[in-house]
Structure 1
Amino acid sequence: MQTNQPLAPQGAGSTLIDRLDALYEYDREPVSEKKLHGWKTFIAMFAGEHVAGTEFVLGPLMVMHGVSAKDFFLGLLVGNILAVLSWAFITAPIAVKTRLTIYWQLKKIVGPYLTITYSVFYAFILCLLSGAMVTVAVTSISIPFGIPNPNYVAGDVLPTIPWVLIAVVVGTVIAALAVLGFEKIATFSKICAPWMILVFFAAALAVLGKLGATNFSDFWDVASNKIFTGVPIGDNSKYTFWHVAGFAWLCNAPQHLGMSDVTIFRYAKSWKQGFASAVGMFIGHFGAWIASGILCAAFLADGFVNPQPGNIALYGAGIAGAVCVVIAGWTTANPGLYRAGLAIQVATPNWKRWKVTFAAGVFMIITACIPAINANLDRIVAYNALFFVPLGAFVLVDVWLFPKLGLISSFTEKSRKLFSWPAAVAWFGSFFICFVIYGKDHLPWMERMIGDYLPRWVDVIQMDLTYLIAPEYILASLMYLGFSYIQQKQKKNVQLIQEGGLL
């Protein structure tokens, strides 16, 4: 196979720069057979990334948004099953078939211009999410130093200078680990994941007694009346079963439906290792969300305010809880920043991966110092999914469906085009349609702008952001398929492909 990059450097020099330059992650070619990993690596990575800092944010968000116990537990069950099936049957098979990063897979399908657009925006959102995890870690480290954590609800726009300095240190450590690559991140997760799981659940069990649960039979009554009460706290909106199920399934939609995790699963020996995601979903997005929700409810019931991750973990498990929050933030931010470095390298092909990863790390640290990001993490995650999942639909259609329909996969690359207009129209068209459907009811400026011009049948559709991701995925797939058929059947394109010997 012809590749776009020479083989990995042979040997490393004596200087730090030489050693960093020698780090090679198969950035632009299929992963070598000898570099493939087994089940343990992916179980550890999913446990480390999804029993992690995000769970200390999202569990309490469910409590603050007043979801009922029944809706919460059923929603988590359904949503997490759908997430595991998405990784196992959509992402992993594509990854082991192509062995390419999502960025170089997209380059073959949609062309370099759209790939760069995708990579820049995706790196931006990954830095935001990694920055949120830096924030999670710093909320714990700041406690023994007596440094107050920013409280967005109370009006804090920026943290204090000492808090920022801690964020710089934490962010630098995370960036250094991300630079070392896939194998070092996997090793870090293998070491940390088992311990973090124990601390999460031990902390939740420790505070259940304060809420009145003295034995197992008390749990459901306490969960229904004191934790997941069905009553929103403050000005938060009301969450239902559909919010929880949709969020559990689609909070990682860019990774599975959007195919970002082909970058990770390209190292898998078999597509069946996609089921390793069940460890992260059912210990993390099920058990850990419940545990952190319990911690949040107990923290508030004891009269405390500002349920930041570090505060509630210290409350539930003491120093072990505080340390767990730090490690949890790292194990989520590390793979996120690793992906961001690979994404930016698409737009900066002459830069070494370690350089762009450190550059992304600087931006990550800046975003960590903005309290509004963590306070609105659920909305950021939903917008992230809505914008990026169409690209995953294109990969699925192009790799699996096109050959069965007599269409040419990687048509843009094979016809030597720099831009795929079917992909552009399907991507931005599907996003725009879904964004309007959401915005007309939830964004006042959009309601004022277009409220009087919408057809009645559009106006009556009222859907939350998370509900729109699955319909958008289907819409983007159909649009891309239809427009690609038109493109490939145009006479000039048929002649171009014939001349290239592809027909």
Structure 2
Amino acid sequence: MAGTSAAEVDRGLRRTDVEQLPAGKHEQHGPGHFAGLYSAENIAGTEFVFGATFVILGASFVDVLVGLAVGNLLAVLTFRFVTAPIAVRTRMSVYTYLSRVAGGPTSKIYNGVNALIFAIISAAMITVSATAFRLVLDFPAQEEAYPTSIGFVVLALVFGSVAVLVAAFGFTALAEFASTCGPWLVVMFFTGGLALLPLVSDTVTGSTVVDGWSGFLALGQSEIFTGETPDGTAGITLLGIIGYSWAANSFAHAGLVDMSLLRYARKSWYGYMSAFGMFLGHYMAWIAAGVMGAAAAAIVQTSITVIEPGQVAFEALGYAGLAVVVIGGWTTANANLYRAGLAGQGAFPRVARKPMTLYIGIVVLVASVFPFVYRGYLDLVTFAGIAIVPIGGVLFAEHWLLPRLGMTTSWARYRGVTNVPSLVAWFGTVALAAAAVATGLMPVYIAFVPAFLVSMGLYLLLARRMGAAERYPEGEAADALWHERVDALHAEQAAATPDVDTTDRRPLTRALRVLWIATLVAITVMALVVLLGSPDLATYEDNRSAFWTVSAVGTVVYFVAAYAELRLRKAHRQRVLAEHGAPADAAEGAAPA
């Protein structure tokens, strides 16, 4: 390693997959990029599951309003002060950084665990989307943990196959489409909740008129988030709501998985942009989904414990609601399938991402036919956090604490040995957390916090004893040369892309933007008409029917206009860059994610 020349390093870098290299300055994005990504990914069909889950857990309405606010704020702060600083300083994905810090077995096992978790998350998204298609094709509701309809199994397998193929071969086009979905999904969840409030009010008070904020609170407490489970027992506490909402993305923030996203941020404060996902998706959408779920269960006269997301969305938004479930599930499933492919490739470097995604897709297809996968989604992401977060503690210790305590980061790679402390800290912490949860010493929703701290402490103690306290000047010099040559490669790549203004200010592009914004405004206004202009049940039903029509037509207009604007902007960028001599791959303008 010490005798490696700059030329040899350069040859190695050019053979390395771009995903394995630090992000360059020319690849970085501003805050708006991350606001859009977080809002699009965290507002999906599974929000219907989360909203219903808090109703089923017996949360009280005030606790939901306060607890979700506190928990999601803690998640945003974790993104900002734990994930983003390491991502911005290293410019590496968590997979690359872990490979350089821990190497060998730790990295492979971690990548394998990530691939499995993202595969199951993708399967849950596909199953949720299939519940919407089930209504269109008139298959029976799937109320058991296992499939009870051959038609539903075929539907899930077909839908899953399409999702896997798109993730493997057409991810760029899908990512572009997904970027347009965020504003529409926000409006759909918000207006769906508004449209069903008068019906809830009529059930409780005999009047469709909601009496201001106090009336809204009374409805929420008496009919939706009642503070009791469906069987009448005491519900989840305020601390539980805070813990679950903080833990829902723990694998991404405390587990550092979103280093892969935030490495493209110009500044670490862009971690605050996660608030667009946490508060629009995990606050507003969860509360709205709870309202819609309780109302839809009453309409179809079934229990909220078994009502499907597709049925909930349909009762709130009509056919536009089915589009919410399908599109939200599809785009999020594909994003996670792509992540699963990258993680699987990290575990098996000789297999390219596309075939790896197809292999993982088999797991996804099998899991997608079982409704229990999405019904237990809250516990799934919570346990995923417990499994992954200890590695976040290890990397946090490596990056921040070892240097401050006079020890050497990446010491195991410099010594050429397996990083045993990382394995012991990881597996030991998971075992302790599992035992604490199983014996009732610790609630599952907060276990990721001590898991992070314990793994960090264990790793520091063990690393000091096994070589981190020593200095490795030759290894450090080789790393310095490697980073120097990476910077040179990035400078070369940046020079090939002209620094020109590619903003599309043409009248047609602006008109399309005005059109899709006006469409969202029209849908929102119509929802307000349903809420505020329905003095009796007959008028309410007429208004809701009109709202369904506006939502359906507006959805079509929105996507036509928004996607056309996206394509125009991309074509304009390609043309401008090509005119200034940019290479073909730069002119394509695919943004890293």
Alignment TM class, shorter chain as reference: 0.7 to 0.9
Q: In the alignment, what sits opposite 1:58?
A: 50
Q: Aligned pair 1:481/2:452, yes or no?
A: no
Letter in 1 for 2:44: A
Shift of 1:183: 5.5
* Aligned ranges 1:15-30 → 2 under 5 Å: 26-30=18-22
Within 2, Cα distance between the matches of 1:298 and 1:410? 55
8 Å CA contact 2:292, 2:316 repeated in 1: yes
Contact 1:35 1:267 in 2 (8 A): yes
Aligned length: 460
Give 1:214's aligned residue: 209
Change beyond 3 A, Cα 1:489–1:397: closer
Q: 1:501 to 1:327 in 2, by over 3 A?
A: closer
Q: For 2:242 and 2:65, locate their aligned partners in 1 and report how far apart those are by CA, in whole Å.
A: 9
2:446 matched residue in structure 1 = 467
The residue type paired with residue 214 of structure 1 is V
Tell whether 2:243 aligns with 1:246. Answer: yes
Listed as ranges, the matches of 1:113-128 within 5 Å are 113-128=105-120
Q: Which deviates the most, 185-194 or 293-302?
A: 185-194
Distance 1:250 1:226, change over 3 A: same
Q: Give 2:411's aligned residue.
A: 411
> What does residue 449 of structure 1 align with?
none
Report SS of the residue matched to 1:150: coil
Distance in 2, Cα, partners of 1:375 & 1:332: 17
Q: 2:150 aligns with which of 146, 161, 164?
A: 161
Deviation at 1:421, TM superposition (A): 1.4
| Preserved contact between residue 43 and residue 277 of structure 2 (Cα < 8 Å) | yes
Kept in 1: contact 2:51–2:286 (CA 8 A): yes
CA distance in structure 1 between the aligned counterparts of 2:67 and 2:234, rounded to whole angstroms: 17
Structure 1 residues 109, 235: CA separation in 2 closer, same or farther (over 3 Å shift)? farther
Q: Give the counterpart letter for 1:210 in structure 2.
A: L
* 1:159 to partner: Cα distance: 4.4
The corresponding residue for 1:445 is none
Structure 2: tracts of 5 or more residues without a match: 1-5, 202-207, 479-593
For residues 57-456 of structure 1, the aligned pairs below 5 Å read 57-152=49-144, 156-179=145-168, 184=173, 186-212=175-201, 214-215=209-210, 216-217=212-213, 218-234=215-231, 238-302=235-299, 303-305=301-303, 306-417=306-417, 419-441=418-440
Please tell me whether the aligned partners of residues 193 and 316 of structure 2 are also in contact (alpha carbons under 8 angstroms). Answer: yes
Could you give the per-residue CA deviations for residues 180-200 of structure 1, whole angstroms, max 9, x where no partner exists? Answer: 687555422321111111111
Please report how far the alpha carbon of residue 378 of structure 1 lies from its aligned counterpart in structure 2 after TM superposition. 2.1
Deviation at 1:334?
A: 2.1
Displacement after TM superposition at 1:240 (Å): 1.3
AA at the equivalent of 1:131: A
Deviations 1:45-97 (A, max 9, x none): 11111111221111100001111111111110100000001111111111122
**Structure with the greater alpha carbon radius of gyration:** 2
Q: Helix, strand or coil for the counterpart of 1:367?
A: helix
Q: Would the aligned equivalents of 1:44 and 1:186 in 2 still touch at CA under 8 Å?
A: no
CA distance change for structure 1 residues 97 and 498 in 2, over 3 Å: closer, same or farther? closer
Residue identity over aligned pairs, in percent, reads 32
Q: Which moved more, 1:120-129 or 1:281-290?
A: 120-129
Secondary structure in 2 matching 1:164: helix
For residues 351-409 of structure 1, the C-alpha deviation after alignment (integer angstroms, 9 at most, x for no partner) is 21122122222221211111221222222222111111010111111112221211111
Q: How far off is 1:488 after superposition?
A: 2.1
Deviation digits for residues 189-235 of structure 1, max 9, x if unmatched? Answer: 32111111111111111110011162333100000111100110149
Give distance in 1, aligned partners of 2:110 and 2:239: 29
SS in 2 for 1:254: coil
Mapped to 2, the partners of 1:382 and 1:244 lie a distance apart of: 12
1-structure distance, mates of 2:302, 2:12:
56
Structure-2 separation of matches of 1:471 and 1:132: 28
For normalisation by structure 2, the TM-score amounts to: 0.74
- Give the letter for the 1:125 counterpart: I
Deviation by residue 1:121-148 (Cα, 9 ceiling, x = unmatched): 1111111111001011110011111012
Deviates more, 1:79-88 or 1:408-417: 408-417
C-alpha distance after superposition, 1:323-344 (max 9, x if no partner)? 1110111232122111111100
More displaced stretch, 309-318 vs 271-280: 271-280
**Residues 292 and 351 (structure 1), Cα distance of their counterparts in 2 relative to 1, 3 Å cut:** same
Cα 1:501–1:409 change in 2 (3 A) is closer
Q: Letter of the 2:66 partner, please give it.
A: L
Superposition TM-score, scaled by structure 1 size: 0.86
Q: 1:36, 1:237 → 2: CA distance?
A: 49
| CA contact 1:91–1:259 (8 Å) conserved in 2 | yes
Work out the CA distance in 2 between the residues paired with 1:387 and 1:170.
29
* Amino acid paired to 1:470: V
Return the letter of the residue paired with 2:130. Answer: V
Runs of 4+ in 1 over 6 A off after TM superposition: none
Residue pair 1:67, 1:228 contacting (<8 A) in 2 also:
yes
Residues 235/224 of structure 1: CA separation in 2 closer, same or farther (3 Å cut): closer
